[in-house]
Chains A and B, each alone.
Chain A
Amino acid sequence: MTYDVPLYEGPAHYPAPAAPAFTAPPHVAEHPDGIRLMEVQGIRVLLAPRPGPVSAGLFFRVGRADETLATAGLTHLVEHLALHRHGVSDLHYNGATAATYTHFHVDGDLTDVASYLNGVCAALRDLPLERLETEREILRTEAAHRGHGANHQMPLWRYGARGHGLLSYPEHGLWHLGPDHVRHWAQTRFTRENAVLWITSDTLPPGLDLTLPSGPPHPMPQVHSALPQTPAYFGGDSGVVVMDAVVRRSTAAGIFADVLGRVLYRDLRQEGGYSYTATADYSPRDADFATITALADALPQKQDAVLGGFVDVLARLRAGRIEQADLDAVRTAKLRQFETPDLTAAMLPAHALSLLTGHRRASVAELTAELHATTLADLHAVAQEVSAQALLQVPTRGADWAGFTEAPQQSAEIVTGRRFTSHESDEVALIIHPQAVTLTAPGNAVTVKYAECAAMLVRPDGARHLTGFDGFSVSIEPTLFPVTAADLAVIDAGVSPYAVVPMPTRDPKDIPKPGPKQKSKRPPREPRKRSLWTWVFWTLVVLASAWGLVGIAGVVGIASEAHTDESWSRDLGRWIRLFGIIEFGLVALAVRVRRKLRKE
């Protein structure tokens, strides 16, 4: 089976436009903090000097949330390919792919910086695609060994299988993305309009060549919600409670996250002794919103108390019981960050990201004033926003008792169509419809509409694994359901070719085999089968013995009658043949049945 993998969008090939060597004279704008903004070869560049080694970073406005489930890993692949040629140099450099940006970072002197950035840009213009197969392999290996953070499930429950939700998913694109796909992504996303460079220097490195293709700036990824209602909860891994909430970006929200962390630590670790780790974090998501994440771990016998304590901490902050001492302590810690030497240079990456994502670039004076102006009432308002938006991952019991709504556990719709009952259970069935597929089991039904299918993994053995944008998945295993190639063709015809992920052949032991079918609660068949064959065996033994006696009696009878010599010998010969055939048959059958019994 071969697949024509279509490109995600646009034409297959973009000619790299020849960029001017330098925009001369560079346009310079000065930020109140002394950060200079200029444009070099169509790329925005931020400069602020600091003594000692130079650091630089080239940001692109592309990341995992811009991909699709079928192309997940595409940006990461480009990042790896762009850095391949630096593999053996002594330079201190790094590349990182995040949800909404990709960052190439280097430390060294101005010559190192120029050589690194020139190399990255050259590689982006002309990716070493002969390395594609190897880099895909390396990235798959990296993924297999990468641990998951305690919060890795949150994006999928909040956003589903697209946009920011993709951070929960494996990089499916690494299985199938071809050179055209990767080149196209580099040429449309790693463009000068989507880039911002920062350098901790007041001059540009000599010999810098940032030639990159031109392309329209990309807006931040669209945000979709998979949660019909918040606050919501879902059941997750044992041993940890995690909460996140999406709030408007503000200085107060940043302070609130740290206050939340302090209160959780005090309640759950210092006072209760239920947790070892209890902490919270604030991360900007886009220009306007940030994600506040809090988590507390727990011993198995304490996790109910951790959940209870967590709920009470949130309730207390929502009720406005926030200590002035906590606000003051967090404010002091944040103000202290501004006391670092060469503050302006240290803030360059944050400024670069703000430029890239369209967030305001506040000065240190403004941020300091905001920190000083933040009141308990501001934190109370953030606490209310967090409570209303919260998504909670709970270890064992639900959180409906605390006013959280369970996140959707099954699809709202079930299709009608051809029904395929599982080989394993009469109560499990697949329903294939020209527009969607449903998997039903007692108390549960999951539907993936082909038009809303984020990815369909296809195995050479016929298996299909469909994931909808809402995050629900249906697996179709031809070994478990009586589906034919024609039935699968109905699904293949419905799913967009952009969503198809051809997967490699599976190890036969990874292909599910149907267990014994569970129909009703009849006694198991095995003992009956065994007793039947045992009975057959012993019947044959009795028959063979009886026939043996009949045979001897026949010989004796023929001998005693003794008609004539000729007739005697003829009768005896006939009898022995008849007897022998039947006796041989009986014994042979008994031996076969005995072998069968031994095998069982």
Chain B
Amino acid sequence: MSPAPPSSRPQFDPLVVFPPLARARHLAGSRDWPGLVRYFAALDHPDEVAAACRTVGDTVGSETFLRQVADQYPGEPLPRVLLADRLITKGWDIRTGARAQHVTRSQFDQFHAHLRQAEQLLIQVCAEQPAYALAWYLRTITARGLSLGQSEARRRYDRLAAHHPHHFPAQRQLLQQLCPKWSGSWEAAHAFAESCAQAAPPGSQSPALVAEVHFEHWSDLDGSEATAYLRRPDVRDSLLNAAAKSVLHPAFRPGFHGISAHTYFAFAHSVAGRHAEAAPHFRALGNCADEHPWLFLPGQDAAAAFTKHRKSALGRG
């Protein structure tokens, strides 16, 4: 985690929070294919590979370059997977993150057209290399965007898990699919988070899904009901158990998704008013965090919300 003192304004930008990602962005922006190949080859953790892939996908204009590379190396999976991610991100930017009723017909059509292109590249890669984690991971995202159904999203995750049983980024994607907002149910979402947490080896990321599903559940409830939910003793216990098995375990290896994991634990305890329980997570985060949950708090910007709750937990600004 970043050693920056927790007194300054919090950092939410993934490229600042996790500096290796800035390198991925630079290589994609400067169309340095050999550099990208070396960069990805050097990554040894699936979290980092997934985060780097999403960073390249987030690089505006990179699709032309990636398409050229994909044409140049037709047998290589990486160019097609990165191109697919770029198409997914571009499509989702057109769709926007709004609830479906606020998205226009034309936005949906373009969104689906981009996702279909991405999906067909990914079908090829998965067919050629059934153990290629990154392609299956992205297919859990396209399954959701293209509304391919719960059982299909689950099948894709299971195909990935057959080779990579504790792939945290894919678990996070499937968790989204299992939530009621994507036609799932709270029973299914909680059961999945719990089963991933149970199956995970000590010190892995997966139990942090428990914090994320509690956040999702909280965001679906209103006002006092929402706070009361996070204050429930069983919710508190499940958060403490999950943290002890993952981010607070001595074997835990910090990485990009560790920041998100700590953020969700810190958030859930803070909103429930359990500042002491939130404290170790804020300490681990320092000045870096995932912005997403803090955007859901009313009346203040994410940075102010984070700073306020961190102050309550650590007793300083």
Contact = CB atoms under 8 A, between A and B. Distances in A.
Interface in A37-85: none
A391 B33 CA distance: 39
Given A274-B155, A305-B154, A400-B116, A312 B149 contact: no
Most buried by A among B130, B146, B152: B152
B146 to A, nearest CB: 5
B155 A308 contact: yes
Given A401-B115, A401-B116, A304 B127 contact: no
A514 interface: no
Interface string B103-146: 00000000010011001100110111010000000000011001
Most buried by B among A303, A308, A321, A397: A308
B147 interface: yes
A274 B119 CA distance: 22
B123 A304 contact: no
A304 B143 CA distance: 10
Interface of B is mostly: helix
Interface of A is mostly: helix
B59 interface: no
A402 B127 CA distance: 12
Contacts of B148: 304, 308, 397, 401
Contacts of B127: 312, 315-316, 318-319, 321
B90 interface: no
B150 interface: yes
Given A272-B158, A308-B143, A315-B127, 7 more contacts: A274-B155, A305-B154, A309-B155, A312-B126, A316-B127, A319-B124, A401-B119
Given A305-B149, A397-B149, A401-B146, A319 B128 contact: yes
Interface in B149-164: 149-152, 154-156, 158-159
B149 A403 contact: no
B126 A304 contact: no
A308 B136 CA distance: 12
A222 interface: no
A443 to B, nearest CB: 13
A307 interface: yes
B120 A304 contact: no
Given A321-B128, A401-B146, A315 B151 contact: no
Given A316-B130, A397-B147, A307 B123 contact: no
A596 interface: no
A250 interface: no
Interface of A: 272, 274, 301-305, 307-309, 311-312, 315-316, 318-319, 321, 396-397, 400-403
Nearest to A308: B152
Contacts of A403: 116, 120, 123
A319 B132 CA distance: 15
B151 A274 contact: yes
Nearest to A303: B151
A182 B230 CA distance: 80
A304 B119 contact: no
Contacts of A274: 151, 155
Contact of B152 (A307, A318, A319, A400): A307
Most buried by B among A301, A304, A321: A304
Contacts of A311: 123
B126 A315 contact: yes
A319 B142 CA distance: 21
B151 A304 contact: yes
Contacts of A315: 123-124, 126-127
21 contacts: A272-B155, A274-B151, A301-B150, A304-B148, A304-B149, A304-B150, A305-B149, A307-B152, A309-B155, A311-B123, A312-B159, A315-B123, A315-B126, A315-B127, A316-B130, A321-B127, A397-B147, A401-B142, A402-B119, A402-B120, A403-B123
A232 to B, nearest CB: 15
A233 to B, nearest CB: 13
A402 B123 contact: yes
A400 B117 CA distance: 10
Interface in B1-46: none
A224 to B, nearest CB: 30
B4 to A, nearest CB: 44
Nearest to B113: A400
Contacts of B156: 308
Contacts of A302: 151
B188 to A, nearest CB: 12
B142 to A, nearest CB: 8
B165 to A, nearest CB: 15
Given A401-B115, A401-B116, A401-B146, A301 B151 contact: yes
A318 B126 CA distance: 12
Contacts of B115: 401
A-B pairs with lowest CB-CB distance, top 7: A304-B149, A315-B127, A305-B151, A304-B152, A319-B127, A305-B155, A308-B152
Contacts of B159: 312
A63 to B, nearest CB: 38
Nearest to A320: B128
A148 B262 CA distance: 58
Contacts of A301: 150-151
A400 B123 CA distance: 13
B310 to A, nearest CB: 43
A304 B149 CA distance: 6
A527 B293 CA distance: 52
A421 B151 CA distance: 44
Most buried by A among B116, B130, B155: B155
Nearest to A299: B151
Contacts of B155: 272, 274, 305, 308-309
A319 B135 CA distance: 15
A513 B256 CA distance: 66
A87 B196 CA distance: 67
